[in-house]
Amino acid sequence: MSKTNITCINCPMGCPLEITMENDIISVIGNKCNKGKEYAIREITNPTRIVTSTVKVNGGERPVVAIKTQDEIPKKLIFDVMKEINKVTINAPVNLGDIVIENVLNTNVNVIATANDKVK
């Protein structure tokens, strides 16, 4: 039997979660909603995160524009995804929701723009 204590990151409540694993059976206490339980199970089986950053823009009012992975990606890939993000330069205009990288590192997750940048 193994016990892990983590803080839920789903919302500002930041519930303290205690995860117990016994014979492949996972039980969670401390969560105040179902999202907390789902997070706890994911966290010890396949932890995932949303990555937010910026990419360079050519010809925009601003030199960079904010981006995010549209969904969560495996936590262990965060720095590899950052490398892909840092390779990219896009052209203005950029619209919120534009796809910046399709299916980044075969995660089935797109990197999308989260802000606008007009042509200078």
Partner 1 sequence: MKRELVIIGGGPAGLAAAVEAHNNGINDILILERDKNLGGILQQCIHNGFGLHIFGEQLTGPEYSERFIKKVNELNIEYMLDTMVLNIDSSRKITALTPKTGVFEIEAGAVVLAMGCRERTRGALNIPGSRPSGILTAGAAQRFVNMEGYMVGKKVVILGSGDIGLIMARRMTLEGAEVKMVLEIMPYSTGLKRNIAQCLVDYDIPLYFNHTVVNIHGKNRLEGVTVAEVDEYRKPIAGTEKYVECDTLLLSVGLIPENELSKGAGIEISGITSGPVVDESMQTSVEGIFACGNVVHVHDLVDFVTQESYLAGKGAAKFIKGELSKSKKVISTLGENGIRYVVPQKINPDNVDDSVNFFMRVDNVYKNVFIEVLSEGKTVLKVKRPVVSPGEMENIKIKREILENINFNKLIFSLKEA
Work out whether strand 89-91 and strand 52-58 pair parallel, antiparallel, or are unpaired: parallel
Verify binding: residue 105, partner 1, rule CB under 8 A.
Answer: no
The answer to whether the CB of 60 falls within 8 A of the CB of 117 is yes
Give yes or no for residue 115 binding partner 1 (CB under 8 A): yes
Q: Give least dist CB 23 to partner 1, A.
A: 28
Closest contact distance (angstroms) between CB of 103 and partner 1 is 20
Residue 49 beta carbon to partner 1: minimum distance, rounded to whole angstroms? 7
The pattern of x and - marking residues 33 through 72 that bind partner 1 according to CB under 8 A reads: ----------------xxxxxx-x----xxxx-xxx----
Q: Collapsing DSSP states into helix, strand and coil, what is residue 8?
A: coil
Q: Does 8 bind partner 1 (CB under 8 A)?
A: yes
Q: Show the CA angle centred on residue 96, arms to residues 38 and 112, nearest 5°.
A: 50
Q: In Å, how far are 30, 54, 56, 60, 111 from 118, measured between CA atoms?
A: 46, 16, 13, 6, 19
Q: Check: CB of residue 84 under 8 Å from CB of residue 101.
A: yes
Give residues in contact with partner 1 (CB under 8 A).
6-12, 14, 16, 49-54, 56, 61-64, 66-68, 75, 78-79, 82, 96, 114-116
